[in-house]
Amino acid sequence: MYVDKSLSGEVYVCRGTRLIASCALCNNKKITAVHIPSTVEYIGEGLIFGSTNVSQIVVEEGNERYSSGANSNMLVNTEDMKLIALCEDVEMPNDIKIIGKGVFAEHSLKS
């Protein structure tokens, strides 16, 4: 997936996309939401790293590998329950088994 770094607002990954590269949407403070189609089979590390204004991650229903959580505020690989990305102020579910590289790098943790 080629990404235009001038993207802003809500980003809709094209239907039919199967792979999203590592850091595809990183370091873009103009992005506010990411919509991922059911066709995506692989998402690399750091998808939204540094894109601190993303408040919503939506994975289309029917995606067999990824979920965006009950409140569309995180990205989880459901095959191994790996947390890949999250928005601010998220309560992490108990069933997460792996936390991906850099997921908490720009978040303030609260207990």
Residue 1 confidence (pLDDT): 54
- If one counts every other C-beta atom within 10 angstroms of the C-beta of residue 66, the result is 22
This prediction has a pTM of 0.87
Contacts of 79 (CB under 8 A, 6+ apart): 65
> What is the band of 109 on the pLDDT scale with cuts at 50, 70, 90?
low
What are 91's two structure tokens?
């309560």
Encode pLDDT of 45-102 as tens digits: 889 988 989 999 999 999 999 999 888 889 999 999 999 998 877 777 889 999 888 8
Encode pLDDT of 19-50 as tens digits: 999 989 988 999 999 999 999 999 998 899 88
**31: helix, strand or coil:** strand
Residue 111 confidence (pLDDT): 57
